Amino acid sequence: MTDGRKSLAQRNYYGKALADLAAKRGDVVVLDADLAGSTKTSDFKKAAPERFVEVGIAEQNMIGIAAGLAASGKVAFASTFGVFASGRCWEQIRLAVAYPRLNVKIVATHCGISVGEDGASHQALEDMAIMRALPNMVVISPADAYEAYAATMAIADYDGPVYMRMGRAEFPTIMLEDVSFEIGKAKVLREGSDVTLIGCGQMVASCMEAAEALAGKGISAEVVNMSTVKPLDSAAVEASVGKTGCCVTAEEHSVIGGLGSAVAECLCRTSCVPLEMVGTKDTFGESGTPAELLSKYGLTAADIVAAAEKSIARKGKA
């Protein structure tokens, strides 16, 4: 992790990874549902058109075809927007992919409130909760564009179903371009002693910003990048809160069923410490610029700072 990074879109680096996989692996196939330009699967289409399937606006069929290709030995990537990937074809994912544990990678773009002006109909705020509930499903939310590339390469090697979510907008990179990625392993990006900040997706960058602001107040915050939401790296959670004694989770997703819930499930079994959750509440989004919406729905670094101070204040209280 370094300072002064570029702002990049994760989906662009997903496209780069697919193009590289096209050259390296003949068993990789990619499917899209009439959004190849937006999901950047068009990069794979250019590199290996004979292994690209444009299904059209038929997401359920896309998942069924992907499952069939996986059953015949292919590594199938299927992409669309998050609201469609997690909602419109949920039954097909449950029965055709998760139940038989087939090698299908469902990679969704345009997730979270920062989808912006497209509004509530296109802002996936519950997709991780939906996918976390499915047995056999791995759930990943990379921290930035570079990690999105590394995660794509990693899930191609993983034998089994994966759901990976990415945003639409550009946001700051916090990783090195050659970052490594291991499914199920968190990374401590900043050591601290007073409070643990656990983030996923673009909220990891906000956690880093919040940690700097907290340092200005004399508070030492540890930042943990929890890019794999399922399986959760419980050992990393326990080790960090064992030092700090309190915790904040931050996600561009509902606080119901996502990263915050996963960490709470971990902590209630192992560590009785204060936990505050930064995320959207029990609500849909609305139209607006990404910056306006992140502010209105309480997903800024300042909101993480406030949650950290609240969590610290709860230490030692019944």
Residue 146 identity (one-letter amino acid): Y
Q: In this predicted model, what pLDDT tens digit does every residue of 150-178 receive, in sequence order? A: 999 999 999 999 999 999 999 999 999 99
Phi-psi category of residue 93: left, alpha or beta, with phi > 0 → left and psi -120 to 50 → alpha: alpha
Residue 32: Cβ-neighbour burial (10 angstroms; 0-12, 13-18, 19+) = buried
pLDDT at 139: 98
Q: Is the confidence at residue 317, as pLDDT, over 50?
A: yes
Is 36:77 a contact under the CB 8 Å cutoff? Answer: no
In the chain, what is the straight-line distance between the N-terminal and C-terminal CA atoms, in Å?
A: 37
Mean pLDDT calculated for residue range 39-50 = 98
Tokens representing residue 227 in the block: 């890019």
Mean pLDDT calculated for residue range 299-318 = 93
pLDDT at 124: 97
Mean pLDDT calculated for residue range 293-312 = 98
Residue 58's closest CA among 84, 28, 36, 83?
84
Q: Point out the residues that are catalytic.
A: 59
The Cα 262–Cα 201 span in angstroms is: 15
Residue 10's closest CA among 155, 158, 129, 174?
174
Q: Is the confidence at residue 135, as pLDDT, over 90?
A: yes
The Cα 265–Cα 242 span in angstroms is: 16
Q: In this predicted model, what pLDDT tens digit does every residue of 180-203 receive, in sequence order? A: 999 999 999 999 999 999 999 999
Residue ranges of the chain assigned to CATH 3.40.50.920: 187-312
pLDDT at 2: 44
CATH entry, 187-312, from 3.40.50.920, 3.40.1160.10, 3.40.50.1370, 3.30.1490.20: 3.40.50.920
Helices assigned H by DSSP within 133-233 = 145-157, 203-215
Residues 6+ apart with CB under 8 A from 122: 81, 83, 110, 115
Q: In this predicted model, what pLDDT tens digit does every residue of 73-121 receive, in sequence order? A: 999 999 999 999 999 999 999 999 999 999 999 999 999 999 999 999 9
The Cα 229–Cα 226 span in angstroms is: 6
Buried b (16+ CB within 10 A) or exposed e, 136-149: ebbbbbbbbbbbbb
The Cα 72–Cα 102 span in angstroms is: 10
Q: Is the confidence at residue 1, as pLDDT, over 90?
A: no
pTM of the model: 0.96
pLDDT at 316: 79
pLDDT band at 271 (very low <50, low <70, confident <90, very high): confident
Residue ranges of the chain assigned to CATH 3.40.50.970: 7-172
Is 23:47 a contact under the CB 8 Å cutoff? Answer: yes
Mean pLDDT of the chain: 96
Percent of the chain with pLDDT over 90: 96
CATH class as words, domain 7-172:
alpha beta
